Structure 1
Amino acid sequence: MLLAVVLLTGLSTVVAPAADATPARYTGGTYVAMGDSRASGGFFSPTPDYFLGCKRSAFNYPAIVAVMTLPRRFIDTSCAGAQAPDLYRTTQRTNRGTKPPQAHLVPRDAQVITVSIGGNDMRWGAILVHCNTTPLNDRRCRHNPRLENEVRWRIARMENRVRPALRAIRAKAPHAQIIVVGIGGFMGSHGCWPMVPISDPDVRWMNRVFDRAGDALRRATSTVGGTFIDANRRSAGHDPCNLIAPWYESSLSNGSLAYPYHINQQGAVAIAAMVNGAIRR
């Protein structure tokens, strides 16, 4: 039932203006998944890919996209902790050694490339930590000028790092459909202590911060003629305070079975449906 619902909701997306590249329609060719923990999953699966440094779950959203699209070849380069430079020019350090730039595994004939990146470049956790509170208290992050200035430069830094990464990916696969999945989604319209220990007004403020981050990623995506999926806005109502159908883990996750404020299994299915609906055939 959940899969049917998210398949329907995934049929509409925002397509950025075309750039010089001419992405081809999908005909079952190579699909490459790139990015950080939003792509790798970060929720436990007893598989080698999970333990080899990148926390790559067997049922992350790229794996589900592959089931939906049946590509002739599927390459998953995603790795938890990745930053934009790790996609194309730097080696990424993990607890199981270094990983080469993810773009090294992108073939020129790739037809679809999904990218989840920017959260580690922005380091949104450094903003969110200022807002954590106890029941009935309010940290008033939304009224903190210093924090607002920090939000602005963190989002600008993220955009400036993501743009060249996407351009490098475009250079590797000039005719691929590049689909960028935005960040956020785990802040809704209210808090719910202890799962989301933030005051209601600050939760709404953080949600708008992720809207702004998504707008920055949308702009970066437009430079390569890609498609942007606004995961923050499209996840409305599925934050951790939804006890029936949350798409994201709460702050109570200890990191061993799932990362706090990261996509869970339901969320992986939902994001995969959004991606599937964005692919031009």
Structure 2
Amino acid sequence: MKTSRLAALSSSLLLGAVLTLTGAGAAQADTTAAAVDYVALGDSYSSGVGAGNYDSSSGSCKRTSRAYPALWAAANAPSSFAFTACSGARTTDVTANQLAPLTSATDLVSITVGGNDAGFADVMTTCVLQSESACIARVNEARQYVDTTLPGRLDAVYTAIRNKAPSARVVVLGYPRFYKLGGSCIAGLSENERKAINDAADHLNAATAKRAVNHGYAFADVVPAFTGHEICSGSPWLHSVNWLNIGESYHPTASGQSGGYLPTFRAAA
């Protein structure tokens, strides 16, 4: 009996050594860690608008394999992956159209939302086509919305997620600053406009982070990852005005998804 136990112990130690030397043990650990049911919700920053290679079956939602949720899923092989993020989505669109895959078995959820509620597209249209004073007035209007109305909208989304996926880790990702101030741009918006837009992004992120934390969710700030890669930098990860595909304007490129959003999400998830 003692001999059998000794043999079994020796075999276990030998197997452990082999797994360590070959890396198989680490691979097994990674597979176990990645055995999660993942649902990706949100707006165009999660669907991947701006990264190209859109899945035709997603229609106007413009989901792509180059978006951070798909990149994370490809690298981690979760047990299941539901990708319902959609271009143009507001908070009410998320609750109405995107939550069906959430269940009590869902382990991980990601979401970007709030920018469209605050009038992101209209702000940028105003700033590109109208005067500096009109731009800054529209930015201030958006900030007022973030202060007064958006918190309740975010609360509704976050509560709906928790009700359907009570055990999930929920990662709420923010938005990047658009511009490098004092950068290489010699035309387009004024520095005052660029600063106002950057400040508004910070304002939106702060409001979103507060609501996320109050619901027990993780807030993942992408601003550090995008620093040095804003519009007017030498290596931008964001589209400026794209007249050939206007919907991609002011959205992350494929590099912005893989180099900015993906590592930020990976660290939080």
TM-score, normalized by length of structure 2?
Answer: 0.78
Task: Write out per-residue CA displacement over residues 197-216 of structure 1, whole angstroms, 9 at most, x where no aligned residue.
Answer: 21123212211111010001
**Match in the other structure for 1:264:** 253
For the Cα contact (< 8 Å) 1:118–1:183, is it kept in 2?
Answer: no
Say whether 1:124 aligns with 2:120: yes
Aligned partner (choices 118, 139, 142) of residue 132 of structure 2: 139
Deviation at 1:237, TM superposition (A): 1.6
Deviation at 1:261, TM superposition (A): 0.4
- Pairing of 1:83-232 with structure 2 (within 5 A): 83-88=90-95, 90=96, 101-132=97-128, 139=132, 146-147=137-138, 149-156=140-147, 157-190=149-182, 192-194=185-187, 197-232=188-223
For the Cα contact (< 8 Å) 1:28–1:72, is it kept in 2?
Answer: yes
Return the alpha-carbon distance in structure 2 between the equivalents of residues 148 and 57 of structure 1: 30
Return the alpha-carbon distance in structure 2 between the equivalents of residues 141 and 189 of structure 1: 20
Say whether 1:276 aligns with 2:262: no
Deviation at 1:234, TM superposition (A): 3.8
Select the structure of larger CA radius of gyration: 2
Return the alpha-carbon distance in structure 1 between the equivalents of residues 258 and 161 of structure 2: 25
SS in 2 for 1:217: helix
Aligned partner (choices 38, 45, 48) of residue 45 of structure 2: 38
Structure 2 gaps of 5+ residues are 1-31
Identity of aligned residues (%): 26
Return the alpha-carbon distance in structure 2 between the equivalents of residues 148 and 47 of structure 1: 33
**Match in the other structure for 2:240:** 250
For the Cα contact (< 8 Å) 2:139–2:197, is it kept in 1?
Answer: no
For the Cα contact (< 8 Å) 2:67–2:254, is it kept in 1?
Answer: yes
Task: Write out per-residue CA displacement over residues 171-224 of structure 1, whole angstroms, 9 at most, x where no aligned residue.
Answer: 111111100111233223246255xx2112321221111101000100110122
Say whether 1:238 aligns with 2:229: yes
Higher relative CO (CA 8 A, sep ≥ 6), structure 1 or 2? Answer: 1
Say whether 1:48 aligns with 2:56: yes
Deviation at 1:161, TM superposition (A): 1.1
Structure 1 gaps of 5+ residues are 1-24, 91-100
Amino acid at match of 1:72: S
Return the alpha-carbon distance in structure 2 between the equivalents of residues 41 and 240 of structure 1: 18
SS in 2 for 1:122: coil
For the Cα contact (< 8 Å) 1:185–1:238, is it kept in 2?
Answer: no
SS in 2 for 1:239: coil
Amino acid at match of 1:246: P
SS in 1 for 2:248: coil
Amino acid at match of 2:174: G
SS in 2 for 1:115: strand
Return the alpha-carbon distance in structure 2 between the equivalents of residues 84 and 26 of structure 1: 30
Amino acid at match of 2:47: S
SS in 2 for 1:164: helix
Deviation at 1:26, TM superposition (A): 5.5
Deviation at 1:149, TM superposition (A): 4.5
Amino acid at match of 2:245: G
For the Cα contact (< 8 Å) 2:127–2:189, is it kept in 1?
Answer: yes
Ranges of 4+ aligned residues in structure 1 off by more than 6 Å = none
The structure-2 alpha-carbon separation of the partners of 1:275 and 1:148, relative to structure 1 and needing over 3 Å to count, comes to: closer
**Match in the other structure for 1:70:** 77
Task: Write out per-residue CA displacement over residues 153-172 of structure 1, whole angstroms, 9 at most, x where no aligned residue.
Answer: 22132332112101100111
Amino acid at match of 2:265: V
Return the alpha-carbon distance in structure 1 between the equivalents of residues 127 and 55 of structure 2: 36
TM-score, normalized by length of structure 1?
Answer: 0.75
SS in 2 for 1:67: helix
Amino acid at match of 2:248: Y
For the Cα contact (< 8 Å) 2:225–2:264, is it kept in 1?
Answer: no
Higher helix share: 2
